[in-house]
Amino acid sequence: MLRATTVILSLVPAIALADSAQLGPRPAYLIDQMADSPLKTKLQSCAGMDFKTHDFSIGHRGAAMMFPEHTAQSYKAAATMGAGIVECDVTFTADKELVCRHAQNDLHTTTNIVATDLGAKCTTAFSAANGDTKATAECRASDITLAEFKSLNGKMDGANKAAATPQDYLNGTAGWRTDLYATTGTLMTHAESIALLKDLDVKFTPELKAPSVSMPFDGFTQAEYAQKMIDEYKAADVPPSDVWAQSFDLSDVLYWIENEPEFGKQAVYLDDRYEAWDDDEGQIDPNDPATFKPTMAELKAMGVNYIAPPIWMMLTLENGKIVPSAYAKQAKAANLKMIAWSLERSGPLNTGGGWYFKSIKDAVSTDGMYFEVLDVLTQQVGIKGMFSDWPATVTYYANCMDLKNPS
């Protein structure tokens, strides 16, 4: 059994963590489940290392496996576990202030809003389950002001669709997560997240989220939205080299490339072209380069340097072995730097790993496969960073394999 380091998750005001990382027992737990292999032996040999913060390890919404996503507590936990980069998904309130939320319309599943007086302001107020009809609600950051947003408590993402009351609706946490740390979830503005992450001595990967409202919103245009996100880093004197701005909307990435070229150098195109975009072009097939529109070379010619698809798009199976997909090979050939999302998002892997692992589900059987998948993505695909809901796993791997920090 590997020796586990002690978990220390400070909820006191942020202090710099230097470059030390405290990983807790999960990496050892995963390694114990691996089949015997040179990779397992190598990972076991690193049990006594002095683990350091590493930019290869990216906190997906913080440390969202156990802490309410996009809260101060989640960000601190990610930094403690050695995430060198932490994500704030960016959206806006009714008074057009930027805040950290995974989606503009997720307050009903990620906060306590439906059980407060602010629930009456939601786009769709809570409606109880009735017979075969499930409980529903839709609450947007744009439904409320910043001051009202800050009054809410963050919770683990989830909802009880069988709920009869608003309070019951809050009790929807997946069984493989926990509410142990959900009693306090401090919501953050984007600017507050910048200040906190600077204090924690980690870097930034903000994602400009697609609005749930029509743009322009009360005169607020998409370009102004994209610019405001960058302006908040400039106001905080954050160097562009410490920021990986992301968007699923290629036009946002191209806006930054044209209007904020120093930030645009590291702008990340979150690739969701696996979804149909029109009837003529259909969907991307990760193993058919003819379906990549625009092509990888065309993206590179537009000035895109980073591309970030989900894990499954980068991998396929050959004779039962996990190998890079044609998508990954084409991106590498075009000199696009790749970032993968999101490890440890699906829960236990004994049922195939869910959506994030769907291209390799026949080869995924135990939680130990997390390290095997990560190794193929790193050593064969050549990713520059890995998002994870529990960054300790990726931090352990990056230190053990002596990976270079991405650039």
CATH number at 267 reads 3.20.20.190
- The verdict on 161 and 306 lying in the same domain is no
The pLDDT of 3-26, averaged and rounded, is 56
- The verdict on 83 and 134 lying in the same domain is no
- The verdict on 251 and 383 lying in the same domain is yes
- The verdict on 375 and 343 lying in the same domain is yes
- The verdict on 107 and 234 lying in the same domain is no
Closest CA to 310 of 261, 345, 348: 345
- The verdict on 339 and 195 lying in the same domain is yes
231 assigned to some structural domain: yes
- The verdict on 295 and 146 lying in the same domain is no
The alpha carbon of 277 is separated from its chain's Cα centroid by a whole number of angstroms, namely: 23
294-351 pLDDT, tens digit each: 999 999 999 999 999 999 999 999 999 999 999 999 999 999 999 999 999 988 998 8
25-83 pLDDT, tens digit each: 999 999 999 999 999 999 999 999 999 999 999 999 999 999 999 999 999 999 999 99
Cα 291 to Cα 222: distance, rounded to the nearest angstrom? 28
- The verdict on 160 and 40 lying in the same domain is no
The answer to whether the beta carbons of residues 263 and 241 sit under 8 Å apart is no
Percentage above 90 pLDDT, the chain: 87
- The verdict on 340 and 272 lying in the same domain is yes
- The verdict on 134 and 283 lying in the same domain is no
2 assigned to some structural domain: no
- The verdict on 138 and 273 lying in the same domain is no
Say which DSSP state 378 is in. I
Q: Which domain holds residue 71?
A: 26-88+188-400
Cα 125 to Cα 177: distance, rounded to the nearest angstrom? 27
Boundary of a domain, candidates 123, 138, 169: 169
Angle of CA points 360, 68, 399, to nearest 5°:
55
The Cα-based distances of 226 to 28, 58, 88, 106, 299 in angstroms read 41, 22, 14, 20, 20
Cα 88 to Cα 205: distance, rounded to the nearest angstrom? 7
- The verdict on 350 and 373 lying in the same domain is yes
User: pLDDT value at position 19?
Assistant: 82
Number of domains in the chain: 2
User: pLDDT value at position 11?
Assistant: 35
User: pLDDT value at position 274?
Assistant: 83
56 assigned to some structural domain: yes
The pLDDT of 367-396, averaged and rounded, is 98
